[in-house]
Homo-oligomer: A and B are copies of this chain.
Amino acid sequence: MSETTGETTRRRRGGGRSGNTRRSSGVAISQLPWQIPEILDSPTEPLSAEGLAAVDDGAMRILEEIGIDFLHEDAKMHLKAAGADVDPDSSRVRFDRALVREMADKAPSQFTITPRNPERAVPIGGRNQVYINVSSPPNCSDLDRGRRPGTRESFRDLVKLSQYFNCIHMVGGYPVEPVDIHPSVRHLDCIRDKLVLCDKVMHAYSLGTERVEDAMEMIRIAGGLSHAEFDAKPRMYTNINSTSPLIHDWPMLDGAMRLAKRGQMVTITPFTLAGAMAPVTLAGAIAQQTAEALAAIVLLQQINPGTPVVMGSFTSNVDMKSGAPAFGTPEYMRATQMSGQMARLYGLPLRASNACAANCPDAQAAWESAFSLWACTSGRANMVYHAAGWLEGGLCASYEKFVMDCETLQQMIAYNQPIGTTEDDIAVEAIAEGNIARHFFGIQHTQDRYETAFYSPFLSDWRNYESWEEAGAVQTPERANKIWKAILEEFEAPPLDAAILEELDAFVARRKAEGGAPTDF
């Protein structure tokens, strides 16, 4: 807690509507306390033992017979040292299956990432499931201002929502891309904003050496850590995507290797849309996804054995009429659950997403997201990316959808509470009493428990039709609209030591003066 003892809370700067100079007397919503859900249910496993073995064998044949392209010389060097079959005349690397399993075994099946506020540390793996806000859309939308490209203001708004909601456990990449900040310095401003507005686990994009190194340095500074302390345990994470089929590109590999060297977490998420970048058959797409992920895991375990890595699943289907990706589909659900089986086979945590293809926060968005969330929970995904705010297959971050998703995330947390079956829970005496009273509202057994017995939603409207209509027949997105405004109005940034903030700002200023990260435009 040493980094927060200064108590000099730094608030939002640079205008905006609320000013945030006073603590709002109202409270936007009554939300669940911070907690990490544990999935107690057995996972849903669409693959039989034979099916699982067949997909594993397929993945291994891809690695052995076809191989994966690594577009990074250092990566090839490390893979050669690991014992992989590296083609000196191309980027192709082939892997013996024994090597793959040996290297995957070095990765931990469970670990903890600790952000600048250690009370927001998150366990990754096992039965734990953590939720991460939407990342990387170029656009954002809300009911008042419509759809528009992201800016620093909307970026900060969405970071604040991510900090506010206890059901968001980690902050992902940029919740919207702030195109009003030049790409050379965007990462500096964005990571600074995130570190000031948010005390949860941070992500860094693997988009070139400078950005990754700057991100690690800023997260180290914000945590008040020495370099040795930073390196001692996971403090942050990145996500890399393969360029499916079967390629790992330079920037992603470079970032992943830099994090691995310092013991930081890497998710490897192949972009295996079935029918487009992977076979049209789900088993084939998952075999390819598995092969692409494991190839990178071999590399990272060779660089730093024990590096925390997560197997990412993003496999879905495309609309075969248009080629557009679809999410929250039956195929997406099954692919996610199959990915869970693969991850558990290799003893790795699983990442999936709360994704949808809908263009607005309507019923389609809700059922696609609910089905995605179902897939994550029944497939026992340990990390749920894009858990709140995602629309349009990831091209838009919706303020209202963010609030709606947090409602369903809370419901998922409530769903994963264990069911009591003590004599008190079975309540035969209470039933005898209720039988005489003809209802249970007033009996002691109810009175003792009713305040906490059931999950209480903040967004659902459970009034009868007449009351709902009389109050204006307000639909879900309009209710969510009121809530995000109230949250932003009352938002207060978490405490950050003034000296740390000064150091952070000095770093940003220096790196800006140096020109930030090189850009090719």
Contact = CB atoms under 8 A, between A and B. Distances in A.
A395 interface: yes
Contact of A367 (B48, B276, B281, B367): B367
B460 A280 contact: no
Interface stretch (A2-10, A39-47, A103-111, A500-508): A39-47
A350 interface: no
Interface stretch (A56-64, A215-223, A257-265): A56-64
B363 A476 contact: yes
Given A357-B462, A419-B47, A419-B282, A55 B426 contact: yes
A473 interface: yes
Interface string A315-358: 00111111110100111011000100000000000000000011
Contacts of A521: none
Contacts of A279: 427, 430-431, 434, 440, 445-446
A359 interface: yes
A97 to B, nearest CB: 13
B147 A465 contact: yes
Given A50-B421, A245-B435, A280-B446, A459 B426 contact: no
A477 interface: yes
Contact of A455 (B48, B330, B420, B424): B330
A417 to B, nearest CB: 8
A283 interface: yes
A31 B82 CA distance: 53
A17 interface: no
A281 B447 CA distance: 12
A51 B421 contact: yes
Interface in A458-481: 459-465, 468-469, 473, 475-477
A333 B331 CA distance: 23
B281 A450 contact: no
B462 A426 contact: no
A281 B246 contact: no
Given A42-B44, A283-B420, A419-B46, A57 B364 contact: no
A77 interface: no
A113 interface: no
A494 to B, nearest CB: 29
B275 A441 contact: yes
A239 B48 CA distance: 37
Contacts of A51: 419, 421
Given A281-B453, A459-B364, A44 B378 contact: yes
A420 B281 contact: yes
Interface stretch (A162-170, A184-192, A300-308, A368-376): A368-376
A449 interface: yes
Contacts of A441: 275-276, 323
A454 B275 contact: yes
B245 A454 contact: no
A395 B280 contact: no
A284 interface: yes
A440 B276 contact: yes
A396 interface: yes
A134 interface: no
Contact of A431 (B275, B288, B318, B473): B288
Given A414-B330, A415-B334, A476 B446 contact: no
A360 interface: yes
- 6 tightest A-B contacts by CB? A284-B427, A370-B370, A366-B366, A58-B426, A363-B366, A51-B421
8 contacts: A41-B44, A62-B428, A66-B428, A281-B425, A324-B462, A333-B415, A359-B463, A370-B370
